[in-house]
């Protein structure tokens, strides 16, 4: 009864458009009052202790780094270099959009920031070169989902804190799946571009043009190398790498590209504080929600119920993926990760899946939710940039979602996709 009340109240409040953080807190409070002898102090205690975490400090700094780089000339130079290198291919500008999102993902750790930064440059440019605007916007939105898979990833940090696993290992595990997502989107883009005859550059660039573009973008391209290289080599922690990213961005934007303005600093700080405030609020109440789940052994009970449905490993994993895809359509990935990770992790561990693989799997499922209505935050961002109603973006998005689902199946059923790089570095 308590499980039905907890999730029933939460779903009802979400359907009534109550903000996710409030919905989580109110559902926990009402369930505690009606079905438990535990005091409501459980909520305040876990809200405070849940947010009092050193790894969580990486979130605002990665957000700030992404915002600074989108306004300081870093993102623009990454796009220009990719365009010079690959813009002459069929579907070249679509390939450029995807690759630029992959590069920016290795800086920001956020899907929305990636879609906003790269889409703002590329959607108008693709339209100018003859690409369908809806196709361009849907590609930018789907490529933006890579922002939470290629490390550093904010959802990976959240997941690692919740289930107490290594952030660095998750970052390594997410590298290949993120690359495969980019490759899958590029394949679809090239196929569609060939069929529809989308315009490409008239000639292949000379070696000199590539070299000039590379020199201009060198310091921008060095950003993910510094961040990820420092983490993987053990020079600094993921949290420290976020601070390094901010400092490096300021230095490059001010002293190399000379495109840093005071109003850009203000906007970057304002946006980062705003988003981080909402994130921290959700994290606090989600931790209280998760604490109640654990106290009442709800994850174990749900795991037992799922295992009683079928003992077929493939079918169970498909059911879990389906559940996560549906949840991703409705709820932001951060509260969904905090709530569902402790519930589903025991189930997948019983099926022989590593917690690291499951972290990538749950994040990828929820990332696909960024481009599936009604939540579809990346679609909203792309819609705002392209000035097209979101309904016009759904049809061209479907083919990209199908390609991402192929990669999701590889992550789910092929452990080397997530654990292969870990074996090489350990």
* Per-residue three-class SS string for 71-94: HCCHHHHHHHHHHHHHCCCCCHHH
Considering the chain, what is the average pLDDT of its residues? 82
pLDDT band of 152, cuts 50, 70, 90: confident
Token pair 């929600």: residue: 289
- CA gap 23, 11 in Å, rounded: 8
Q: Mean per-residue pLDDT for 148-170?
A: 87
Q: Are residues 228 and 371 in the same domain?
A: yes
**147 against 279, higher pLDDT:** 147
Which residues constitute the domain of residue 33?
A: 1-39
Q: Which residues contact 18 (CB under 8 A, 6 or more apart)?
A: 26
pLDDT band of 19, cuts 50, 70, 90: confident
Q: Mean per-residue pLDDT for 39-59?
A: 74
- CA gap 367, 378 in Å, rounded: 9
Give me the pLDDT at residue 230, please. Answer: 81
- Kindly state the percentage of the chain with pLDDT values over 70: 94
pLDDT band of 424, cuts 50, 70, 90: low
- Listed residue (151, 149, 156) closest to 223, CA to CA: 151
Q: Is residue 226, in this structure, part of any structural domain at all?
A: yes
pLDDT band of 403, cuts 50, 70, 90: very high
Q: Is residue 47, in this structure, part of any structural domain at all?
A: no
- Listed residue (135, 125, 121, 124) closest to 196, CA to CA: 135
- Please determine, for residue 426, whether its predicted confidence score (pLDDT) is greater than 60: no
- Residues 329-365: tens digit of each pLDDT: 877 788 888 888 888 898 898 889 999 999 999 999 9
Q: How far is CA 250 from CA 67, 220, 242, 349, in A?
A: 11, 12, 13, 43
**54 against 325, higher pLDDT:** 325
Q: Are residues 345 and 403 in the same domain?
A: yes
Q: Are residues 19 and 168 in the same domain?
A: no
- Please determine, for residue 114, whether its predicted confidence score (pLDDT) is greater than 90: no
Give me the pLDDT at residue 384, please. Answer: 82
194 contacts 92 by C-beta, under 8 angstroms: no
- CA gap 126, 149 in Å, rounded: 25
Nearest-5° angle of CA 329, CA 65, CA 224?
Answer: 90
Give me the pLDDT at residue 290, please. Answer: 74
Q: Are residues 70 and 204 in the same domain?
A: yes
Give me the pLDDT at residue 179, please. Answer: 93
pLDDT band of 243, cuts 50, 70, 90: confident
Mean pLDDT is highest, among 16-20, 28-32, 157-161, 223-227, for 157-161
- CA gap 273, 161 in Å, rounded: 21
pLDDT band of 181, cuts 50, 70, 90: very high
Q: Are residues 402 and 255 in the same domain?
A: yes
Q: Are residues 7 and 77 in the same domain?
A: no
User: What backbone phi and psi angles, to 5 degrees, belong to 134?
Assistant: -65, -40
**409 against 302, higher pLDDT:** 409
Q: Is residue 347, in this structure, part of any structural domain at all?
A: yes
- Listed residue (280, 230, 241, 220) closest to 74, CA to CA: 220
- Please determine, for residue 304, whether its predicted confidence score (pLDDT) is greater than 90: no
- Please determine, for residue 171, whether its predicted confidence score (pLDDT) is greater than 80: yes
- Please determine, for residue 167, whether its predicted confidence score (pLDDT) is greater than 70: yes
Give me the pLDDT at residue 201, please. Answer: 56
- CA gap 24, 288 in Å, rounded: 9
Q: Are residues 17 and 82 in the same domain?
A: no
Q: Are residues 14 and 128 in the same domain?
A: no
Q: Are residues 69 and 10 in the same domain?
A: no
Give me the pLDDT at residue 374, please. Answer: 67
Q: Mean per-residue pLDDT for 354-380?
A: 88
Q: Are residues 117 and 25 in the same domain?
A: no
Q: DSSP class of residue 260?
A: -
pLDDT band of 425, cuts 50, 70, 90: low
Q: Are residues 5 and 148 in the same domain?
A: no
Q: Which residues contact 277 (CB under 8 A, 6 or more apart)?
A: none
**415 against 234, higher pLDDT:** 415
Give me the pLDDT at residue 176, please. Answer: 93
Q: Are residues 137 and 259 in the same domain?
A: yes
pLDDT band of 202, cuts 50, 70, 90: low
Q: How far apart are the first and last CA of the chain?
A: 46
Our count of domains for the chain comes to 2
pLDDT band of 404, cuts 50, 70, 90: very high
Q: Is 37 exposed, middle or buried (0-12, 13-18, 19+ CB in 10 A)?
A: exposed
Give me the pLDDT at residue 74, please. Answer: 75
- CA gap 407, 414 in Å, rounded: 10
Token pair 């290992």: residue: 169
Q: Is residue 44, in this structure, part of any structural domain at all?
A: no
């Amino acid at each position: 009864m308590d499980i039905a009340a907890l999730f029933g109240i939460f779903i009802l409040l979400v359907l009534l458009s109550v903000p996710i953080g409030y919905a989580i807190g109110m559902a926990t409070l009402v369930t505690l009052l009606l079905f438990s002898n535990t005091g409501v102090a459980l909520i305040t205690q876990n809200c405070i202790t849940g947010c009092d975490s050193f790894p969580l400090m990486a979130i605002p700094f990665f957000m700030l780094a992404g915002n600074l780089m989108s306004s300081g000339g870093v993102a623009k130079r990454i796009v220009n270099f990719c365009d010079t290198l690959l813009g002459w291919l069929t579907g070249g500008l679509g390939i450029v959009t995807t690759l630029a999102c992959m590069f920016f993902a290795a800086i920001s750790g956020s899907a929305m920031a990636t879609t906003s930064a790269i889409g703002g440059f590329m959607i108008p440019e693709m339209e100018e070169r003859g690409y369908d605007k809806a196709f361009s916007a849907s590609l930018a939105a789907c490529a933006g989902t890579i922002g939470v898979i290629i490390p550093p990833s904010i959802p990976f940090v959240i997941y690692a804190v919740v289930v107490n696993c290594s952030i660095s290992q998750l970052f390594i595990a997410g590298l290949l799946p993120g690359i495969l997502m980019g490759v899958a989107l590029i394949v679809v883009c090239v196929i569609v571009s060939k069929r529809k005859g989308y315009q490409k550059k008239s000639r292949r660039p000379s070696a000199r043009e590539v070299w000039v573009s590379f020199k201009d973008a060198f310091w921008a391209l060095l950003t993910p190398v510094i961040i990820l290289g420092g983490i993987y080599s053990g020079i600094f922690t993921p949290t420290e790498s976020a601070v390094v990213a901010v400092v490096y961005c300021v230095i490059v934007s001010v002293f190399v590209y000379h495109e840093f303005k005071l109003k850009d600093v203000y906007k970057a700080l304002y946006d980062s504080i705003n988003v981080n405030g909402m994130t921290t609020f959700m994290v606090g109440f989600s931790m209280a929600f998760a604490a109640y789940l654990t106290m009442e052994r709800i994850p174990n009970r749900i795991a037992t119920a799922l295992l009683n449905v079928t003992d077929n490993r493939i079918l169970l994993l498909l059911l879990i993926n389906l559940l996560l895809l549906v949840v991703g359509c409705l709820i932001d990935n951060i509260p969904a990760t905090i709530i569902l990770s402790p519930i589903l992790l025991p189930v997948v561990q019983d099926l022989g899946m590593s917690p690291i693989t499951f972290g990538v799997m749950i994040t990828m499922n929820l990332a696909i939710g960024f481009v599936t209505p009604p939540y579809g935050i990346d679609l909203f961002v792309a819609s705002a940039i392209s000035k097209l109603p979101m309904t016009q973006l759904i049809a061209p998005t479907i083919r990209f979602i199908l390609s991402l689902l192929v990669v999701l199946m590889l992550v789910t059923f092929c452990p080397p996709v997530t654990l292969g790089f870990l074996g090489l570095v350990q």
